[in-house]
Amino acid sequence: MLNVVRAELRKLRRPTLFLGTMGAVLFFSGLFSALLYLLIDSPQGNADRGQVISREVLALASGGVQGFASVGGFLGIIALCVFAAQTAQEYTYGTLRNLLVRQPSRMKILAGKLISMMIFALVMIILSAIVSIATSVILAPTVDVSTELWFSSAGIEYIYTTFVNVAISVVGFGIIGMVLGLLLRSPISAISFGVLWLLIVENLLVAVKSSTQSWLPGSQLTIIASGGSFDVTYSHALAVGGAYVALGALVASILFVRRDVAN
């Protein structure tokens, strides 16, 4: 298993993928956090779907991680794309047969891939946390938001909790990407389907019938990153999102183990 992880990490650290992804994480983490402060007085709101996060809310112990929590869903989309591409490309390049000749245990290949991509995702999340919090610390004083409570013991606890929530959410999105990669066996198809579903189909369904937000997979994972929402509790999102991920992973694993490798 360790050999698979080491082999996969070598692929993941190639500069175009690693630096490209980390660059996107850096940019969007900074942007999401900056907008919270730059648009604080905007009538259109400074958060998702026109919501307003006020100075008072941002000054709470949880204020320092507001930006980080809000970028969680976006990190999830990035993870979905990376996990899907890294899995499906083995079929399009025909490299899966090389992997299976060198490591015939398909479950070990799958588990090793997952662990290595989780390590990649973890690096992504740590970078995002640092950039988001740093941006918040820099911009808060410019709009009269107090940062006094952010690094109190309660504030530190919020940082840890949010980090764990974002990590669960990002890995959940990643696993969905991996499942799509295994099922569709093409990076373009897997990424297109995943992004289209999460960014367009789910948003349309929620706009048409708001109660669907409690049951759609992408919504649950985004809510987990935020630590719960007004409409959906954290534990509900964790249970439903976890069920989607587990079911998808089970089906994809069975297919991967049993399917002939004929390309």
Does position 52 bind other proteins by CB under 8 A? no
Does position 20 bind other proteins by CB under 8 A? no
Shortest CB 113 distance to other proteins, Å: 11
Does position 1 bind other proteins by CB under 8 A? no
Output the CA angle 237-238-243, nearest 5 degrees. Answer: 100
**Encoded tokens for 139:** 């911009």
Of 246, 247, 241, whose CA–CA distance to 202 is shortest?
A: 241
- Which lies closer to other proteins via its Cβ, residue 50 or residue 94? 94
Does position 97 bind other proteins by CB under 8 A? yes
Does position 99 bind other proteins by CB under 8 A? yes
- Which lies closer to other proteins via its Cβ, residue 98 or residue 211? 98
Does position 254 bind other proteins by CB under 8 A? no
Does position 23 bind other proteins by CB under 8 A? no
- Which lies closer to other proteins via its Cβ, residue 107 or residue 251? 107
Using the contact rule CB under 8 A, the part of the chain among 94-102, 169-177, 201-209, 220-228 near other proteins is 94-102
230: how many CB neighbours lie within 10 A of its CB?
6
The only residue of 7, 38, 122, 138 in contact with other proteins, by rule CB under 8 A: 7
Radius of gyration of the CA atoms of the chain, in A: 19
- Which lies closer to other proteins via its Cβ, residue 14 or residue 210? 14
Does position 94 bind other proteins by CB under 8 A? yes
Does position 14 bind other proteins by CB under 8 A? yes
Using the contact rule CB under 8 A, the part of the chain among 21-29, 96-104, 179-187, 227-235 near other proteins is 96-104
Does position 249 bind other proteins by CB under 8 A? no
Q: For residue 43, what are the CA distances in angstroms to 38, 40, 52, 134, 232?
A: 12, 9, 9, 26, 26
The only residue of 105, 152, 210, 235 in contact with other proteins, by rule CB under 8 A: 105
The only residue of 21, 46, 89, 165 in contact with other proteins, by rule CB under 8 A: 89
The only residue of 43, 104, 209, 230 in contact with other proteins, by rule CB under 8 A: 104
Does position 22 bind other proteins by CB under 8 A? no
Which residues of the shown chain bind other proteins in the complex (CB under 8 A)? 3-4, 6-7, 10-11, 14, 16-17, 89, 93-95, 97-105, 260-262
